[in-house]
Structure 1
């Protein structure tokens, strides 16, 4: 059974959650600041990776 912590998000869903543009999200993935996986030809971002990214960004800002 998949839980909320196992949820995989599409790039547009990540864009909406972070309120960032497509190229910025792909830059975060490319620079490994945002973890992602590839399923077939589709790029997916674990929801926990988005939460970790936000926590890291808050920590850097403090």
Structure 2
């Protein structure tokens, strides 16, 4: 797994690449690629690059966090 070097949300870049998404979520790179190719995950494709806006990532996390 990738280790995240960011200490808080404000340190994240505006757009995260797949490797950064993996590090932030604490998942494998393969898992991050699977996630960014899923239908409901917020991605922006620029040419062949896939990036994730940090505010949309946070919204996705909030929307997909189970409330108990």
Normalising by structure 2, what TM-score? 0.66
- Which residue is 1:30 aligned to? 37
Q: Which runs of 5+ in 1 are unaligned?
A: none
- Structure 1 pair 23/45, CA: closer, same or farther in 2 (3 Å)? same
Query: Once the 2 structures are TM-superposed, how far is the Cα of residue 57 of structure 1 from its aligned partner?
Result: 2.1
Query: Once the 2 structures are TM-superposed, how far is the Cα of residue 47 of structure 1 from its aligned partner?
Result: 0.4
Q: How many residues align?
A: 56
SS of match in other structure, 1:43? strand
- Which residue is 2:24 aligned to? 17
Say what the alpha-carbon RMSD is for the aligned residues.
Answer: 1.9
Query: Once the 2 structures are TM-superposed, how far is the Cα of residue 33 of structure 1 from its aligned partner?
Result: 2.8
Q: Structure with the greater relative contact order (CA < 8 A, sep ≥ 6): 1 or 2?
A: 1
Q: Which runs of 5+ in 2 are unaligned?
A: 1-9
Query: Once the 2 structures are TM-superposed, how far is the Cα of residue 11 of structure 1 from its aligned partner?
Result: 0.7
